Amino acid sequence: METTINQSITTEKDFSSSSKLLLAIPLYVYVSVIASMCVILGILWDIAWHMSIGRDGLFSAPHVVTYIGAAAAGIFSGYQVLKTSFWGNQLEKGKMVKFWGVFYSSLGGLFCIWGGIASLTSAPFDDWWHNTYGLDVQILSPPHTVLLLGLMSVQMGAMIAVLAFLNRSEKISSLSAEENTKRTNRLQWMFIFTAAFLITSIFTFLSESLGRWAMHSPSFYQVASAAFPIFLLATGRASGKKWGTTYICFIFLFFHWVVNAVLRLLPVEPLLGPIHNQITTYQTLGFPLLLFIPAFAIDWLRDKLSAKNDWTMALMLGVIYTVVLLVSHYPFGTFLHESPLARNWFFGSNSWSFQNDADWEYRFKFGPWNDKPLSAWLTGILLAVVYSIISSRIGLAWGNWMKQVQR
């Protein structure tokens, strides 16, 4: 009987501790993190829908998931603005950004509100576009571009909303020292997850240039070297964890793979002709990039160069990122695009839109346009290194700014 009572007391203490930790971080911050996940989940599902079914309606399932995420972020952030502006005390208002002379909001909340409005506004624009011009053949159509920018604003808002609390280094009086440490760790991981969701969006945004068929082309390394270091270094530095960039890239890899792997199990049939590839399950984007490999090199080198100035760090990090990316992804591209071992549910290299010719001769091999002379490769990789250095320097500066965000 005494053992049972002790166990009950322990359970109540654990529950009380968890509840206090939850209450120590505002609800709108949790909602923004979940919204960040929902919007990219909806985007990946929508792409698979276009590849597998064809025309979608304004309120198709993927669109609804995206709308819910964007709307939730905007509504909860908007409520927080009104609550702080009209019912908040001076201490609460002092932690916010004042705008229009009346309202008080966190910087992350402003991003979420704008992103939610832009995302929902793009929905009827996208529906009109389909009704006027038919099915999109590219990810970056005008309405999709507006949508993606709005959704990425929501994700940026989620990141900054978490950062504001993380950077204040507040000690909540109602929490013990151990609970305050757990709260800080929770905020760090919330930030890492939001950063991973943003990286997933960046990759999806650029997937037409970063597919497996492009991994034997210098342009792949130029795009990847310009696009990713800025985000990886900024978020890795702001995370406050030694291996922050690596954690972010592992979560990106796992999340992107899980969403598409689950979709590839679901039955579906095309509803728009002509059908050149008979399919019975969802077709999706291919296997994600192995960004955790250059990310590991970045984190290791960033720690070793911590005493150096940012210009020196950017130079060395930019070079190592591109070199590791090339060494890891050129052979990985060979495997994904040409090996029969990659044509399965796990790697998804056999995913092919119903609109594409199933018997295209270059479906599973690189085309002659990938045969570049050595001089073209040297020039292309040199440009990629330059892009990477510039991107790394901006990323380090952005990371410094992120570490100062407290509103």
The verdict on 118 and 136 lying in the same domain is: yes
Higher pLDDT, 55 or 338: 338
Q: Which residues pair with 267 in a beta bridge?
A: 281
Write down the pLDDT at residue 336. Answer: 94
Kindly state the average pLDDT of the residues 76-88.
Answer: 77
Q: What angle do CA 404, 205, 151 make, to 5 degrees?
A: 55
| In the predicted structure, residue 388 carries a pLDDT above the cut 80 | yes
The verdict on 212 and 197 lying in the same domain is: no
Q: Range with the lowest mean pLDDT among 2-16, 67-81, 205-219, 255-269?
A: 2-16
Q: Tell me whether residue 116 is in a domain.
A: yes
Q: Tell me whether residue 2 is in a domain.
A: no
Tokens (6 digits) for 121:
């506004």
Domain end position, chosen among 152, 178, 205: 205
Cα distances (angstroms) measured from residue 31 to each of 80, 155, 397: 12, 11, 28
Q: Containing domain of residue 234, as a range? A: 208-407
The verdict on 197 and 285 lying in the same domain is: no
Q: How many domains does the chain have?
A: 2
| In the predicted structure, residue 307 carries a pLDDT above the cut 70 | yes
Higher pLDDT, 379 or 172: 379
Cα–Cα distance measured from residue 187 to residue 394, given in angstroms and rounded to the nearest whole number: 24
Q: Tell me whether residue 130 is in a domain.
A: yes
**Which one, of 48, 70, 76, 46, lies nearest residue 58 by Cα?**
46
Kindly state the average pLDDT of the residues 175-187.
Answer: 80
| In the predicted structure, residue 182 carries a pLDDT above the cut 60 | yes
Q: Tell me whether residue 13 is in a domain.
A: no
Burial 154-191 (b: 16+ CB within 10 A, else e): bbbbbbbbbbbbbbeeeeeeebeeebbebbbebbbbbb
| In the predicted structure, residue 7 carries a pLDDT above the cut 50 | no
The verdict on 197 and 220 lying in the same domain is: no
The verdict on 354 and 225 lying in the same domain is: yes
Write down the pLDDT at residue 309. Answer: 87
Q: What percent of the chain has pLDDT over 90?
A: 36
Higher pLDDT, 114 or 159: 159
The verdict on 115 and 126 lying in the same domain is: yes
Cα–Cα distance measured from residue 72 to residue 45, given in angstroms and rounded to the nearest whole number: 19
| In the predicted structure, residue 249 carries a pLDDT above the cut 80 | yes
Domain end position, chosen among 170, 186, 205: 205
The verdict on 267 and 380 lying in the same domain is: yes
The verdict on 201 and 268 lying in the same domain is: no
- Confidence band of 306 (pLDDT split at 50, 70, 90): confident
Looking at this protein, which amino acid is placed at residue 394?
I
- Confidence band of 367 (pLDDT split at 50, 70, 90): confident
Mean pLDDT (the chain) is 83
Q: How many other CB atoms are found less than 10 A from the CB of residue 310?
A: 18
Kindly state the average pLDDT of the residues 306-321.
Answer: 90
The verdict on 196 and 293 lying in the same domain is: no
Question: Best-predicted range by mean pLDDT among 69-83, 93-107, 293-307?
Answer: 293-307
Kindly state the average pLDDT of the residues 310-337.
Answer: 94
Q: Tell me whether residue 229 is in a domain.
A: yes
Q: Tell me whether residue 21 is in a domain.
A: no
User: What is the DSSP secondary structure assignment for residue 212, as one 8-state letter?
Assistant: G
pLDDT in tens, 191-203: 999 999 999 999 9
Domain end position, chosen among 205, 236, 268: 205
- Confidence band of 106 (pLDDT split at 50, 70, 90): confident
Kindly state the average pLDDT of the residues 59-67.
Answer: 82
Q: Tell me whether residue 7 is in a domain.
A: no
Q: Tell me whether residue 4 is in a domain.
A: no
Higher pLDDT, 66 or 147: 66
Cα–Cα distance measured from residue 194 to residue 110, given in angstroms and rounded to the nearest whole number: 16
Write down the pLDDT at residue 3. Answer: 47
Write down the pLDDT at residue 282. Answer: 92
Cα–Cα distance measured from residue 100 to residue 106, given in angstroms and rounded to the nearest whole number: 14
Write down the pLDDT at residue 4. Answer: 44
The verdict on 219 and 74 lying in the same domain is: no
Give this prediction's pTM.
Answer: 0.86
Write down the pLDDT at residue 136. Answer: 54
Kindly state the average pLDDT of the residues 238-244.
Answer: 89
- Confidence band of 135 (pLDDT split at 50, 70, 90): low
Kindly state the average pLDDT of the residues 253-265.
Answer: 95
With H, G, I as helix, E, B as strand and everything else as coil, classify residue 267.
Answer: strand
The verdict on 158 and 224 lying in the same domain is: no
| In the predicted structure, residue 10 carries a pLDDT above the cut 70 | no
The verdict on 78 and 148 lying in the same domain is: yes
